[in-house]
Chains A and B, each alone.
Chain A
Amino acid sequence: MENTILKIVNLSAGFGKNWVLKNINLEIEKNKVIAIMGPSGCGKSTLIRCINRMHEITSGAILEGRIYLDGKDIFLMPPVAVRRKIGMVFQRPNPFPTMSIYDNVIAGYILNGIKLKREERDRIVEETLKKAYLWEEVKDVLYKRGVFLSGGQQQRLCIARALAMDPEILLLDEPTSSLDPKATSMIEELIIKLKKTVTVVLVTHNRAQAARVSDYTAFLYLGEIIEFDKTSRMFTAPKDKRTEEYLTGKFG
């Protein structure tokens, strides 16, 4: 595939003696939205947590296989370096409660001890919040703590926090599962717009969401990728019977 940004080769992962993911192979194209869809417990979260090497921080984590970012093996890079290039947004909005909205946006710089000039900081905060479509709502309360925002705003703040580090890939782990429909649709619109600047890998158990926002969809079932195809093709003409059954709501 041309423009491949991320290549997963023979990846298996799990905890203790239990392999959650079995021999995953996946190629992800640059500046696209890729949905990883499947019933709960199928290993979706484990898969994206392997991509930014967060899987390894869990005690008892096991892992085999290779993942290449721009052709480089991420398991040969320091985890810290991988995570600066691959940002992540979690299921539940988790802005840092001790920091203001402003500081939350540049939290990556604060945490990594990267010193920025005042103007540069201001610029990053404004640009990133605009990218996350949050600027208009928070520009007057930038120095208030982020935890006072609504759930949807908090989640967009977390997206901004990840975007501020200018990652190549943005991992979204069911980012709307704790949000109301209105906040969900705002985040979905945002995801579609984000692919201009960043490749998005979106984990979701919501079929409609995968159909609405993604260019490609991987259907993950019991730790295996059953089908990976253009979203439009998979949703109209699934090749595998299990995909068809999942899409028509027979299980999961």
Chain B
Amino acid sequence: MEMRQDRTFKIMLWLGGISFFLLLLLIFILLFKESLYSINAFGIKFITGKVWDPVNEKFGLFPFFVGTILTSFISLFISLPFSLSLALLLSVYYKEGFINKVLSTTTELLAGIPSVIYGFWGLFFLVPLIRKVEIKLRIPPYGVGILTASLILAIMIIPYISSISKEVIKMVPQDLIEAGLSLGSTTWEVVKKVILPYCRSGIFAGILLGFGRAFGETMAVTMVIGNSNFVPENIFSPANTMASVIANEFTEATKDIHLSALIQIGLWLFVLSVIVNLIGSFIVKRYKIR
């Protein structure tokens, strides 16, 4: 009886595992099939093309690729110091107590806010703010653009990077921290020379997760990036990311070729996120201690 139960259980686990794999495969196949029309029509020019003009049926995803890369990296760059400080604060300096509770609850809540709310906040708070900065700098005061989107994204990914980094830092053996302190080091020196080197692969995994999130985030970005289909000239330029152009134009895509072009962008977004994740897990494995 017990053996039979065990077998049923095993089969269920297998089903779960296989169905996820199949799902991934099915998504890929569907994207590929729906993209075929535009792949056949434009070939490699779809990737290198700098013009996206649905009216004249010219489709090139390069402007959106640039938009995605720029917003992801800038947001990562902005959020990193905040995420790491938060992680260290909660895992080394205030491991328990009131401050810890307040800060960790706040970050958790931050992670749970729907992205459309972030978009609203960006529109009503960040956009006017950036507009003022732009007026000061004597550049066209759009308010919306790469920088605004990056700021929103930075805030959105802080909870991801900080919570993973926090968990990783907590796993540093107390032994090692005490060994560092017993040599007459300050806590900061122990953080710098013992804790961070020990955790680098784990923290990298957190950064990667944040990057993946920034990479694919759609709603909030669509609301504040300005939805311009040109290659951005600077970080204040209105632009579009691969995800935001799909969200923005999907409902208006009446022509088959337009729809297929948007789906092909989706296909590349899918492929890129798989690559990012593979590179990430490779690096994490390589730099793991022992």
A80 CA / B183 CA spacing, docked (Å): 8
With A59-B96, A107-B183, A161-B183 in contact, is A94–B175 under 8 Å at CB? yes
Q: Does B290 make an interface contact (CB < 8 A)?
A: yes
Q: Are A165 and B289 in contact (CB-based, < 8 A)?
A: no
A52 CA / B183 CA spacing, docked (Å): 10
Q: Which residue of the partner chain, among A98, A111, A158, contacts B289 with CB atoms under 8 Å?
A: A98
Q: Does A57 make an interface contact (CB < 8 A)?
A: yes
Q: Does A112 make an interface contact (CB < 8 A)?
A: yes
A111 CA / B191 CA spacing, docked (Å): 10
Q: Does B190 make an interface contact (CB < 8 A)?
A: yes
* Shortest distance from the beta carbon of A163 to any chain B beta carbon, whole Å: 11
Q: Does B140 make an interface contact (CB < 8 A)?
A: no
A113 CA / B186 CA spacing, docked (Å): 11
> Which residues of chain B from 165 to 214 have a CB within 8 Å of any chain A CB?
173, 175-176, 178-186, 189-190, 193-194, 197-198
Scan A1-17; emit 1 where CB is below 8 A from any B CB, else 0.
Answer: 00000000000000000
Q: Are B175 and A111 in contact (CB-based, < 8 A)?
A: no
B198 surroundings in chain A (CB, below 8 A): 97-98
* The stretch of A83-91, A134-142, A193-201, A211-219 that contacts the partner chain: A83-91
Q: Which residue of the partner chain, among B176, B185, B189, contacts A94 with CB atoms under 8 Å?
A: B176
B97 surroundings in chain A (CB, below 8 A): 59
Q: Which residue of the partner chain, among B173, B182, B189, B194, contacts A52 with CB atoms under 8 Å?
A: B182
Scan A155-191; emit 1 where CB is below 8 A from any B CB, else 0.
Answer: 0001001100100000000000000000000000000
Q: Are B183 and A84 in contact (CB-based, < 8 A)?
A: yes
* Shortest distance from the beta carbon of A54 to any chain B beta carbon, whole Å: 6
Q: Are B183 and A90 in contact (CB-based, < 8 A)?
A: no
A54 surroundings in chain B (CB, below 8 A): 178, 181-182
Q: Does B95 make an interface contact (CB < 8 A)?
A: yes
Q: Does A92 make an interface contact (CB < 8 A)?
A: yes
Could you say which of B179, B194, B198 has the most chain A C-beta atoms within 10 Å of its C-beta?
B179
A83 CA / B198 CA spacing, docked (Å): 23
Q: Are B175 and A92 in contact (CB-based, < 8 A)?
A: yes
Q: Are B290 and A97 in contact (CB-based, < 8 A)?
A: yes
Interface of chain B, main secondary structure: helix
Q: Are A81 and B182 in contact (CB-based, < 8 A)?
A: no
Q: Are B190 and A111 in contact (CB-based, < 8 A)?
A: yes
Q: Are B183 and A98 in contact (CB-based, < 8 A)?
A: no
Q: Which residue of the partner chain, among B96, B179, B184, contacts A90 with CB atoms under 8 Å?
A: B179
**Whose C-beta in chain A lies nearest to the C-beta of B180?**
A111
Could you say which of B97, B178, B182, B190 has the most chain A C-beta atoms within 10 Å of its C-beta?
B182
* Shortest distance from the beta carbon of B173 to any chain A beta carbon, whole Å: 7
Scan A61-94; emit 1 where CB is below 8 A from any B CB, else 0.
Answer: 0000000000000000000111110011010101
Q: Are B183 and A111 in contact (CB-based, < 8 A)?
A: yes
Q: Which residue of the partner chain, among B96, B173, B193, B290, contacts A111 with CB atoms under 8 Å?
A: B193
A110 surroundings in chain B (CB, below 8 A): 193
Q: Are A112 and B178 in contact (CB-based, < 8 A)?
A: no
Q: Does A147 make an interface contact (CB < 8 A)?
A: yes
> Which residues of chain A from 34 to 72 have a CB within 8 Å of any chain B CB?
52, 54, 57, 59
A161 CA / B180 CA spacing, docked (Å): 10
Supplied contacts A94-B178, A108-B183, A111-B190, 13 more A-B pairs, CB within 8 Å: A52-B182, A59-B95, A59-B97, A80-B185, A83-B182, A83-B183, A90-B178, A90-B179, A107-B180, A107-B183, A161-B179, A162-B182, A165-B183
Nearest 10 pairs between A and B by C-beta?
Answer: A84-B184, A108-B183, A88-B182, A111-B185, A98-B197, A94-B175, A83-B184, A94-B179, A111-B189, A111-B193
24 A-B residue pairs with Cβ-Cβ distance under 8 Å, sorted by A, are A57-B181, A59-B97, A80-B185, A82-B184, A83-B181, A83-B182, A83-B183, A84-B183, A84-B184, A87-B183, A90-B179, A92-B175, A97-B176, A97-B198, A98-B198, A107-B180, A107-B183, A107-B193, A110-B193, A147-B290, A158-B179, A161-B179, A161-B183, A165-B184
Interface residues of A (CB under 8 A from B): 52, 54, 57, 59, 80-84, 87-88, 90, 92, 94, 96-98, 107-108, 110-113, 147, 158, 161-162, 165
